[in-house]
Amino acid sequence: MSAEEIKQFWHGFCQRRKIAADVIAKGDTIIEKDPDYWADQTMGDLLDSITTGKQPS
């Protein structure tokens, strides 16, 4: 998957859950840094990493 495809999925996930725009932007930045990693993770994992500040291992 490309970074753009992952971000589209992320945006849909966030829209369904009414996630704030600043959190969406943070997710976009994280996805752009390592799209291959995030292609294999859940969007819930991405949201958790943003809201808790824990970096993925």
Which tokens hold the place of 5? 């495809």
Q: 12 versus 1: which is more confidently predicted? A: 12
Quickly tell me which residue has 């753009």 as its tokens: 4
Averaged confidence pLDDT in the chain: 95
pLDDT tier at 54 (50, 70, 90 boundaries)?
A: confident
Structural domain that includes position 20: 3-52
Q: Quick one: average pLDDT of 19-39?
A: 97
15, pLDDT greater than 90: yes
Q: How many structural domains does the chain have?
A: 1
CA atoms of 21 and 11, how far apart (whole Å): 10
Establish if 23 belongs to a structural domain. yes
Q: Residue 57 has what pLDDT?
A: 61
Q: Residue 46 has what pLDDT?
A: 97
Residue pair 12/45 in contact by the 8 Å Cβ criterion: no
Q: Residue 5 has what pLDDT?
A: 98
